[in-house]
Each structure stands twice: as structure tokens, then as C-alpha cells.
Amino acid sequence: MVKLNISGFISLIIVVIAVILTSSWLQGNITLLSRGWVWLGLGCVMCLLAYPPYIKQKNNMWLLAYAAIVVLNFFMGDSYFHSIVNVIMEVAMLLFCSYLAFYITEDKKIINIFVYSQLLVVVATAVLSITVNMIFPGVIRDTVTLINAGYSSKAIPFYRIGVCEYGYPHGIPMILPGLVLLYKNHRLKLIYRIIALSIVVLLFYLVFISGVTTALILTIFGILASFFIRQDDVRKNVTRLVILGILMMPLLNDDAALGVLKFAEQVVPEDNKITGKIANFEETIQNSNTADGTIQTRGELYGMSISGFFSNPIIGINDKSYGEHSAILDRFATLGLLGGIPFLLFILFLYKMIKQRIPSHSMMFFYIGMAGFLIMLATKNMNNIYVWLYSICLLPALLLFNSNPPKFIRK
């Protein structure tokens, strides 16, 4: 008689929920799967049932403190989170992702199936999004424009044919170091190393056509840094990363970035499709009328959040008009130190917990991914499931997968 493995069954449900939450194609074609708050709630319940020791983690204590402030903020009136559904989504997303990070780095049995399923979603989403973009250029950015204008129903048909959500490309830079490390692993069969490199190229192109400037810069940095560093020389690795960071800093200036794009236009043949994508990026950078416009414009918005924080640093200003530029600064402005400090401490202790489980030879790749994660939270209001799940779950899973790959992909 075969015994039912309850723990294994719950683990499978958790992995399936992670797939649902990251697949716009599934959400667009099955109405039930589009209700993210339902699946996040179910995921949290499954997590707590599967692995109660998570409750004892320090990061979880700070998450509970942050959740209490978020709920209080909502009932005080002009809430930053707009609705009770958003409050539930905020807390549930952080709980689900942090639990999953704890679980997959603790249980080696789930790592492989999690990596396989997520890479399948990543590849399928990239292929479908790129294909649709050939027919409807700029479709990824157009979907968020429709939603922000109140025309969500017009964006759903694009999700049904596989177009990724606008927030999706912002999570991609964080997993690239793990994929590059797989490519650099000479213990793996060549075909699987080529597959890993092909996924890197595919995801880079997806970010490129998405027209998301910050994610593109982090993607370029993540790929170059991952190729430059070596696993056996920490000092030289730090030096390489510092030099690379200095070289890429000018790209944060609009004039410098436009200069690079103009040069690229001269190098690329006029009839090439890439020329059109370059022109799209130039237009994006030059557009200073939205929160997603130039770096300088976003700098002004950061200043608004800083001013809001200093006007009431303890409890914040509880203003729902904030939330368009920096996930971290906005929370300090609207929730004050009471909400901002628990949010940062939650991230800090979560980082320390994951760091302890990453193999030492993979640590620099983890640092690169986490740097992208923190930069994304600090410079963009991309506090979404893709950024969190890929940063603290899929990246560590890829690094652990690389250290102990299945026998069939080894030489």
C-alpha cells in the first residue's frame, strides 16, 4: 500500500501556485487563475502548513510588524494601498515569497522541480511576448498604459496570447547571474550549458523590446558582471564589479544614454528591426512627462517622497498619491519609520537567512542578483511578485541547482 506523502503533495501545490502567479498566459486564459489574491492566500496557507518552523525566523517577526502597520495605515483613511485587496496582496506576497525562499533552500528535493517549472514559464513567456511584439510593436508597455488609463479589459486579450505584464521584465535581471553561472559550469554537458546561455540571450532581448530602461541597464550589468567575475578570487571580483559599475554609471544620465543610442543607430543597418527598438528607447528617455520618464524626472519624484517623510517621520503622511517611483522611499514617506524600518529589517534578515545557504563559490553571483533587487526597489515602484519571487527564490534555487545538478545533465 502506497502512503500519501502529505508534505510532498503540499510542496507540489506551492510550486504550482508559483507557476500561476508568474504566468500571464495562464492568468489571461483561465479567469479563476487571474485572481492573484486568492492564490497568494492559498499559497500562504499551504506554506504555513508545510513548514511551521518558518514562523520562528526573525524576518517573519518583522514581516508581522510591517503587516500590522500596513493594516493600520489602511484603516486610518487616505491609504497608500488604496483598497483592502491591495493590503492583502502586499502582505501575502511577502509572506509567500519569503516562505518559499526559506523552504526551497532548506529542502533539496523541491529545488529541481521549482527550477524546471519556473524556467519553463520564463522561456514560454519570453517566446510568446517576443512573437506578439513582432505583430504589435511596443505591446508590453502598451498594456500598462491601458491599465493605468482604466482600460484593463483591453489589456486582457494581450495576456491571453502570452504577452507578459509590464512588471515582468523588471524581475528578469535578478535571475540572469544564476543562468550565466550554469553556462560557466564546466561540469555540465555542453548542450545544457548552451541552453542556459540561450535563455540568457532570449531574456535579454525580451527586456530590450519591453522598453524598460532601468531593467535594461541592470540586465546589461548583471550579464557582464556574471561573465567577468571568477569563483576563486574575491578581491579581483570586487575590483571588476567596481570598475564595471563606474563604467555603467554614465548610462544613468539621459544625455550619455542618448549618446550611446545615437552611436548604436549609426552602427546598426537602417533596415534592421533593432533600429526601431533603439528609437523607441530614445523616445522613452526623452519623455519627461511621466513617472517612468527620465532619470532626472524620477529624481524629482524621489525628492517628493523624501520631503513627505521629513514632514512626518514617525508615522508618515498616509497619502495614497505616493507610489509611482520608489518602493522603499514611498513606504518611508507614507508609513514613516514605524512602517519603513520593519520593511527594511524584513529584507535584511531574509537576505541573511538566504545568504547562509548559498555555496561560497556562488556568493558573488548572489550579490549581483540581490544588488539588482535592491536597486529595483529603490529606484522603481516595482514591488511585484516577479521582482520578489525571482530575486529571493529563483536566483538562490538556480545557484543551489548549479552546485548539485541532476546526474543526467552532468558530464
Burial of 212 (0-12, 13-18, 19+ CB in 10 A): buried
Lowest mean pLDDT among 82-86, 286-290, 375-379: 286-290
Lowest mean pLDDT among 84-98, 112-126, 266-280, 284-298: 284-298
Contacts of residue 341, Cβ cutoff 8 Å, sequence gap at least 6: none
Give the 3-state DSSP-derived string for the chain, with helices as H, strands as E and coil as C.
Answer: CCCCCHHHHHHHHHHHHHHHHHCHHHHHHCHHHHCHHHHHHHHHHHHHHHCHHHHHCHHHHHHHHHHHHHHHHHHCCCCCCCCHHHHHHHHHHHHHHHHHHHHHCCCHHHHHHHHHHHHHHHHHHHHHHHHHHHHCCCHHHHHHHHHHCCCHHHHHHHHHCCCCCCCHHHHHHHCHHHHHHHHHCCCECHHHHHHHHHHHHHHHHHHHHHCCHHHHHHHHHHHHHHHHCCCCCHHHHHHHHHHHHHHHHHHHCHHHHHHHHHHHHHHCCCCCHHHHHHHHHHHHHHCCCCCCCCHHHHHHHHHHHHHHHHHCCCCCCCCCCCCCCCHHHHHHHHHHHHHHHHHHHHHHHHHHHHHCCCCHHHHHHHHHHHHHHHHHHHHCCCCCHHHHHHHHHHHHHHHHHHHCCCHHHEC
Per the CB < 8 A criterion, the answer to whether 200 and 225 are in contact is no
- Report the pLDDT averaged over residues 127-145: 88
Selected residue with higher pLDDT from 410 and 316: 410
The dihedral built from the CA positions of residue 162, 167, 168 and 169, taken in this order, carries a sign that is: positive
pLDDT at position 290 is: 43
Residue 349, all three cell numbers = 534578515
pLDDT at position 189 is: 94
Residue 266 has pLDDT above 70, yes or no: no
Q: What is the pTM of this model?
A: 0.86
Residue whose C-alpha cell reads 519569503 in the numeric block: 98
pLDDT at position 317 is: 83
Selected residue with higher pLDDT from 80 and 293: 80
pLDDT at position 307 is: 81
- Report the pLDDT averaged over residues 161-173: 91
pLDDT at position 179 is: 97
Confidence of residue 271 (pLDDT cuts 50, 70, 90): low
Selected residue with higher pLDDT from 287 and 306: 306
- Report the pLDDT averaged over residues 383-407: 93
pLDDT at position 390 is: 96
- Taking the C-alpha atoms of residue 24 and residue 269, their distance in angstroms, rounded to an integer, is 34
Selected residue with higher pLDDT from 345 and 81: 345
Residue 304 has pLDDT above 60, yes or no: yes
Confidence of residue 4 (pLDDT cuts 50, 70, 90): very low
Per the CB < 8 A criterion, the answer to whether 85 and 372 are in contact is no
Confidence of residue 92 (pLDDT cuts 50, 70, 90): very high
Confidence of residue 163 (pLDDT cuts 50, 70, 90): very high
Residue 370 has pLDDT above 60, yes or no: yes
Residue whose C-alpha cell reads 540561450 in the numeric block: 198
* pLDDT per position as a tens digit, 40-50: 989 988 888 87
Per the CB < 8 A criterion, the answer to whether 164 and 24 are in contact is yes
- Report the pLDDT averaged over residues 373-393: 90
* pLDDT per position as a tens digit, 174-221: 999 999 999 999 999 999 999 999 999 999 999 988 878 788 888 988
Q: Where are the domains of the chain?
A: 7-409
Per the CB < 8 A criterion, the answer to whether 199 and 245 are in contact is no
